[in-house]
Amino acid sequence: MCGIVGYTGQLSTVEVLLEGLSRLEYRGYDSAGVAVLDGDEVALRKKGGKLAVLRDSLEHAPLPDEGAGIGHTRWATHGGPTDENAHPHLGDEGKLALIHNGIIENFAALRAELEADGEVFLSETDTEAAAMLVGRAFRETGDLTAAMQRVVARLEGQFTLLAVHADQPGVVVGACHNSPLLVGYGDGEHFLGSDVSAFVKFTPRAAALDNDQIVTITATDATVTDFQGNPLEPQRFEVDWDSSAADKGGWSSFMAKEVSEGPVAIANTLRGRLTDRGVDLGELGVLDDAALSTINRIVIVACGTASYSGLVGKYAIETWSRVPVEVDLAHEFRYRDPVLDEHTLVISISQSGETMDTKMAVQHAKAQGARTLSICNTQGATIPRESEAVLYTHAGPEVAVASTKAFLAQVIGQLLFGLHLAKVRGTMSDDAIAEVVAELEELPEKLSQVLAEQETLHELAHWMSDTRSVLFLGRHVGYPVALEGALKLKEISYIHAEGFAGGELKHGPIALIEPGQVVFVVVPSPRNEPLLHSKIVSNIQEIRARGARIIAVAEAGDAAVLPYADQVLRVPLTLPMLEPVLQVVPLHIFALELATAKGLDVDQPRNLAKSVTVE
Ligand code: AGP
């Protein structure tokens, strides 16, 4: 949601801003704009609609192309996605331009105050009030950093702000409060961005601002202070992927590419963390063995797909370490006032590391004295910085709104943590841990086999392109796989889809079954879980008897499902806790194929943003 770019240096400012905005498109947006300094004026262009509309307009009537500039993709909150509401907004009689990510909660009061004082608003946004306030503060202080410092003290809510002023050429000033902002360090140039993808094409050297900080960049300098003006030195890091990783690379969509990257995502997440027969998670820092020994309860907080990965993690971590694990949707967590103390470990899972609901859950956990661990895919993101320890997944950049390879890496991250905790607590023998480790090493290859064998899904998706409802059924770790299959389908193909636990069928959902209803059933291997397997086969029989059409995701050697399934999607045998990693991928591919068959934009489904940065 909302993308922010700032640049000052020798390159074509408009080109750098547009490049950065195109890299942030994945976050979701519905209008875009840029502002560059032009002598003693600000030159501005902003358009409702996609970036292509803005590009087109800039091609027909170019803006001046040197000096400092800011660019923005807006996901509408206050006011529709119109040209007027698009950012940047102006202050100080058009000499200042400002962009904003987040929500200024007290904007109505600020706006009333400014209107009473004669200001005329051109938009319905909360942002314009901030632009006017910074403009007024600049007139008093003559310095953009000082003006920003003065205004942030008046704003409530969460925000990242970037501003340029015509009287301070070559300078961009940013401020952040509960919203991300990163600095990119180039040679003779500096960048600002909502995440590193905004500038990684130009430099891998970055730093993430902490909460309540202000940054001032010029071509040669980047200085950071707190909101009171005290100088700070942010911790720098090198981005461990290059911009080509976030290119489509010949695939029809980012989602198709990212599904294909599943084996590499798993291998990279395992890399350096497996020893001969165990797991090495020295990176957990303060959550060392002594600290983990004191944990008697785990709560996993996450949203959407990440929460389904958490449900898989729950089964594995609890079974292996014998520590009770619960999973909470992050947005429900703090409102139920959970019982937390220093013996509770709250694990947040987030691909982006910026999901506001998850971040607020982590803050609540910390405030209640719980220990915090983040499982995150994005270096320098807010949630890992808010947490005591982080286990990065290394799935690489995920651009498509629908999360696929990140889900796999999140499951792997939790499996690694579960094994580590089991070792610390002595609840698993070395041999049992070594067995899982050996199987984890096999997983990328097994997943490659799954990817190579799903061509029937193309046909199935075409046959089903008019379907109005699809159900998904699973048990144990297959249950979150069913939930994930349903979410992916509704998210990108706009088809009603529901996931159920098999045992729940008779308690209600079976009423939905009518002749022709398609039901995907996630079947555990009979070699791993004979009892569960027979239970799910009974479920299949029950719904088949009522006319359902069954598509089973089943282990390659499972003959028992054959008589009852209309189609079987085969996956190789693995250990029970690892099955979701293989079983979920045919469901991801099915959703992708069906959305493609319907001619939909699979990467940017309607109404959705990749990174949900508001509550
Ligand atoms: C998944 O396909 C979704 N787009 C969504 O549910 C996502 O997983 C959720 O918003 C959490 O995002 P995060 O992992 O970046 O925190």
**pLDDT in the model for residue 114:** 96
Q: How many CB atoms lie within 10 A of CB 24?
A: 27
Please, which pLDDT band fits residue 567 given cuts at 50, 70 and 90?
very high
**pLDDT in the model for residue 29:** 85
Q: How many CB atoms lie within 10 A of CB 584?
A: 30
- Would the pLDDT of 244 be above 80? no
| Nearest CA-CA partner of 452 in 298, 569, 595, 600 | 569
Nearest CA to ligand 1 atom 2: 402
Q: How many CB atoms lie within 10 A of CB 350?
A: 32
Q: To which H or E segment does residue 5 belong?
A: strand 3-8
| Nearest CA-CA partner of 300 in 342, 330, 322, 320 | 330
| Nearest CA-CA partner of 310 in 362, 281, 363, 349 | 349
**pLDDT in the model for residue 128:** 95
Nearest CA to ligand 1 atom 4: 402
Instruction: Report phi then psi at 584, rounded to 5.
Output: -75, -25
Q: What is the pLDDT of residues 340-394, one digit of tens each?
A: 999 999 999 999 999 999 999 999 999 999 999 999 999 888 999 999 999 999 9
Average pLDDT over residues 322-332: 97
Can you tell me which residue has the tokens 């699973």? Answer: 474
Cβ < 6 A, ligand 1 pocket: 303-306, 350-352, 355, 358, 401-403, 491, 611-612
Q: What is the pLDDT of residues 136-168, one digit of tens each?
A: 999 999 999 999 999 999 999 989 999 999 999
Please, which pLDDT band fits residue 534 given cuts at 50, 70 and 90?
very high
- Would the pLDDT of 333 be above 90? yes
**pLDDT in the model for residue 608:** 87
Average pLDDT over residues 120-127: 93
**pLDDT in the model for residue 234:** 93
Q: What is the pLDDT of residues 6-41, one digit of tens each?
A: 999 999 999 999 999 999 988 878 899 999 998 888
Reading the block at residue 9, the tokens are: 């240096």
Provide the angle, in degrees to the nearest 10, between the axes of the packed helices 478-493 and 304-321: 170
Please, which pLDDT band fits residue 449 given cuts at 50, 70 and 90?
very high
Number of the ligand 1 atom closest to the C-alpha atom of 406:
14
Q: How many CA atoms lie within 13 A of 34 on its CB side?
A: 31
How far does the centroid of ligand 1 lie from the alpha carbon of residue 354, in Å? 10
Reading the block at residue 76, the tokens are: 């509408």
DSSP state of 235: P
Can you tell me which residue has the tokens 């999140």? Answer: 410
Q: In this structure, are residues 547 and 516 in contact, taking their beta carbons and an 8 Å threshold?
A: yes
Average pLDDT over residues 441-447: 96
Q: How many CB atoms lie within 10 A of CB 274?
A: 17
Query: In this structure, what is the dihedral angle of CA atoms 507, 512, 514, 518, given to the nearest 10 degrees?
Result: -110
Can you tell me which residue has the tokens 């995502």? Answer: 265
| Nearest CA-CA partner of 597 in 464, 406, 419, 447 | 464
Provide the angle, in degrees to the nearest 10, between the axes of the packed helices 579-597 and 430-452: 20
* Ligand 1 pocket test, candidate residues 300, 355, 489, most atoms within 8 A of CB: 355
Those residues whose C-beta lies under 8 Å from the C-beta of residue 353, and which sit 6 or more positions away, are 374, 376, 377, 378, 381, 382, 383, 384
Q: In this structure, are residues 313 and 349 in contact, taking their beta carbons and an 8 Å threshold?
A: yes
- Determine the Cα angle at 99 with ends 148 and 6, to 5°: 85
Number of the ligand 1 atom closest to the C-alpha atom of 403:
2
Active site members = 2, 610
Asked whether the bond before 169 is cis by omega within 30 degrees of 0, the reply is no
- Would the pLDDT of 179 be above 90? no
Number of the ligand 1 atom closest to the C-alpha atom of 378:
15
Can you tell me which residue has the tokens 């938009």? Answer: 123
Is this structure's pTM higher than 0.85? Answer: no
Q: How many CA atoms lie within 13 A of 189 on its CB side?
A: 19
Can you tell me which residue has the tokens 């803005």? Answer: 54
How far is residue 169's CA from residue 35's CA, in Å, rounded to a whole number? 13
Reading the block at residue 410, the tokens are: 């999140």
Nearest CA to ligand 1 atom 6: 304
How far is residue 533's CA from residue 25's CA, in Å, rounded to a whole number? 43
Reading the block at residue 306, the tokens are: 């990440």
Please, which pLDDT band fits residue 277 given cuts at 50, 70 and 90?
confident
